Amino acid sequence: MPKPELSSYRPDLARELAARNETSFRYRQVYEHLTHHRGVPFSVATSLPGELREALEALGHSTLGLHSRADDPDGTTKLLLRAVCDKVSLETVIMRYRKRVTVCVSTQAGCSLGCAFCATGSLGLNRSLSAAEIVDQVQHASVLLAEEGRKASNVVYMGMGEPLLNLDAVLLSLRLLHDPKGWGMSARSLSVSTVGIPSGIRRMAREEPQVNLALSLHAADDALRSSLIPANRRYPLREVMRACEDHFALTRRKLFVEYLLLEGVNDSPKQATALADLLKGRVVAVNLIPWNPGWGEFRPSSPEATDAFMNALRSRNVEVSQRESRGASISAACGQLVAGTRPKRPARPQASRPDDARPSGGVTGKPKEIVPPAKSTKRRPPPTRDGR
């Protein structure tokens, strides 16, 4: 596997140094500049010779350029970034909490999976990002946070794209971020979310056993999950859960299960019981996520349905928490990232409701209007434990 060094992070810079017959000391200097002096142009790196500074500056200290930013009053910032090489757009989200800051990075420009509830999937896949383009999202976030006297404490791979379909770049970016001589983050402060690619889950376990794994589950049976996540037809639940068992056998790390609650689709107490049965005997924590308007004809579950779902899981001794939705006013919440573009495909029909959730008389007429979740007078739940 590639080592976390300049040649793996920025091969273009390494080639420039090689063409100049520079010593290994120079490679280390340039790598240190990128990782320790984040966002600082090479032109002011006075430890490097002037001619070399000019050559490196022409190649750039980042593979991404900042196009725009948007800020939500809740402390969330969305960055629209563009690749220097081809101007491909992607989005990165910064979430500020009282005692931590989480950066949510994208691994692909767009996404090929087409999940029924996610706006990113409506774009299709443009291309996968390089390891440098993943890491440089953290670089841009770090520059912004440094101006506030803060720094990123967690990085979650939960932005645009399916990380395990860009696994080589993702694994290298993880190594770069937790390299003690580079970014110096803890491996346990990094989390990768996937819809469930069995081979990728097993490789993650072998190569990055300390990195958190989060599974985007959203349904406990294949029929419903396939209607929400088409990739489930290729990777059914039995195969995905077996891969998660293998991951735990190698890592002994808790699995974080992400479950998006959709009114009348997957939020009944009966479905909570099915979820508990699926997870029985596993070391897991379920993270319930509110649906954010942006794609698909869905409604978020009501506070009452959410509480009932949580209570049903707790009665079966399943650890569960509820994620607080952040950044919705700037389209930075889960499932809303579209990199400033419009969906290419028409809206899909709503996923089929299970029989026990279908209203009497069936579903007739036009699709239900998407409405925001009702406000609750209850106190906000504590932060979730999935790395965010």
Catalytically annotated residues: 91, 334
Of the candidates 120, 133, 208, 126, which has an alpha carbon nearest to the alpha carbon of residue 164? 208
* d(C-alpha 24, C-alpha 253), whole Å: 37
Query: What is the token pair recorded at 48?
Result: 């490097």
* d(C-alpha 208, C-alpha 176), whole Å: 12
* d(C-alpha 287, C-alpha 285), whole Å: 7
* d(C-alpha 23, C-alpha 52), whole Å: 13
Q: How far apart are the first and last CA of the chain?
A: 28
Altogether, the residues listed in the chain come to a count of 388
Pairing of strands 101-104, 89-96: antiparallel
Q: Read off the DSSP letter of residue 46.
A: T
Of the candidates 320, 285, 298, 310, which has an alpha carbon nearest to the alpha carbon of residue 376? 310
* d(C-alpha 298, C-alpha 204), whole Å: 33
**Where do we find the tokens 């984040």?**
38
* d(C-alpha 234, C-alpha 232), whole Å: 5
Query: What is the token pair recorded at 209?
Result: 């056993």
Cβ neighbours, 10 Å, residue 282: 14
Count of alpha carbons within 13 Å of 42, Cβ hemisphere only? 22
Of the candidates 88, 206, 214, 241, which has an alpha carbon nearest to the alpha carbon of residue 156? 214
Helix (H) or strand (E) holding 145: helix 131-146
Beta bridge partners of 79: 69, 92
Query: What is the token pair recorded at 124?
Result: 């299709």
Residue ranges of alpha helices (H) inside 229-319 are 237-251, 269-279, 303-315
Of the candidates 74, 36, 11, which has an alpha carbon nearest to the alpha carbon of residue 333? 74
